[in-house]
Each structure stands twice: as structure tokens, then as C-alpha cells.
């Protein structure tokens, strides 16, 4: 029997991206539930205001071609003070992939 996470005995909620415990429940609409990942998700939403941007949203579905993706990577590098080598950039296919990359880069530096 699983104990409800809303009770003191229950399992805490975890962010679907970084898996850290959080007191905020996940939204069924794909919101990240920890403040750090949620902030990153909103940054991507601001970049594509005419689209519904969820964690699972692919950059292809946002109609981002290779040139636009290169521009987005440059914006990521500048805004978040990170370095994204071309070999890494080609593996970033979804918003969640990008958020995980940013968080991992920050953790490694």
C-alpha cells in the first residue's frame, strides 16, 4: 500500500527533470516542479510564445531549423554562461534535454 505524498509519512514529490525533492506537486500540464527547473522552463516558454512549451516539447515541433537551433544555443550560452560544444548540441532534442544539460553544466562547474 502506498501512502499519500500529502501526508507526513508519504514520499515527497520529486522534480521530473532533476529528481530533487520538492514541496510543490507536479502539474499535469508539464510544468517542472522545482523552482530551478521551472525557471528554466519559463525561459524556453518566453522564446516560443506562440507555442505550448512543455518539458517533452521537441525543438522540431517548435519549427526550429538548424540555423534557429544554432541561434538558440548561442542564446543559451550567453544567458546561462555555459559552453555547448556542437557535439553536445546535436543531442539536445527537447526542452527537458536542454534543461538537464544546463543543470548538469552548472553542477560540473
- Largest pairwise CA distance in the chain: 51
Range of the domain at 50: 13-108
pLDDT of residue 41: 92
Q: Would you state the pLDDT for residue 35? A: 85
- Active-site annotation, residues: 65
> Does some domain include residue 76?
yes
Q: Is 6 part of a structural domain of the chain?
A: no
The count of domains in the chain is 1
User: Does the residue 5 lie in any domain?
Assistant: no
CATH code (residue 85): 1.10.1200.10
Per-residue pLDDT, 53: 93
Neighbours of 49 (CB within 10 A): 7
The pLDDT of residue 102 = 96
pTM: 0.79
- 3 belongs to a structural domain: no
More confident residue, 34 or 28: 34
Amino acid at each position: 500500500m502506498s501512502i499519500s505524498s500529502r501526508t507526513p509519512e508519504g514520499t515527497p514529490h520529486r522534480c521530473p527533470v532533476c529528481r530533487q525533492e520538492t514541496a510543490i506537486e507536479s502539474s499535469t500540464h508539464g510544468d517542472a516542479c522545482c523552482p530551478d527547473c521551472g525557471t528554466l522552463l519559463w525561459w524556453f516558454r518566453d522564446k516560443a510564445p506562440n507555442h505550448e512549451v512543455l518539458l517533452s516539447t521537441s525543438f522540431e515541433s517548435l519549427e526550429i531549423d538548424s540555423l534557429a537551433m544554432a541561434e538558440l544555443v548561442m542564446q543559451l550560452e550567453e544567458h546561462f554562461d555555459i559552453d555547448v560544444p556542437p557535439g553536445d548540441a546535436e543531442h539536445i532534442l527537447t526542452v527537458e534535454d536542454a534543461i538537464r544539460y544546463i543543470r548538469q553544466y552548472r553542477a560540473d562547474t
